[in-house]
Amino acid sequence: MTCYIIIYCPRNKEEGYFLNKFINNISKYEYIDLSDRVFLIVTDDSALVVRDKMARDLFPEDSLFILRSGTEAAWKEIEEERVEWLEKNL
């Protein structure tokens, strides 16, 4: 399983509608949100497959960035629940 960092940047007037569709799609993975636009998922899918699955319901001008996590991470002021997820999956 691979952990990916996903950044979603909606660029339309109906941001809430598309954000809800995005969260509905991402909830099909084991995931955690680090902010309202930054998510981490764990999957066997490639970055391209994740992108294609996530982009299906997005507004055409929305930005989506997917990056496979590396070997090192650091954080500050992250809730304990999220820290446990990060330690398990990164």
Query: CA 22, CA 8: separation in Å to the nearest integer?
Result: 8
Could you give phi then psi for residue 63, rounded to 5 degrees? -100, 145
Domain boundaries, the chain: 2-89
pLDDT higher than threshold 80 for residue 16:
no
**What is the pLDDT at residue 41?**
96
**What is the pLDDT at residue 32?**
95
**What is the pLDDT at residue 49?**
96
Pick one of 3.40.50.2300, 3.30.70.240, 3.40.50.1390, 1.10.260.40 as the CATH number of 2-89.
3.30.70.240
- Give the pTM: 0.87
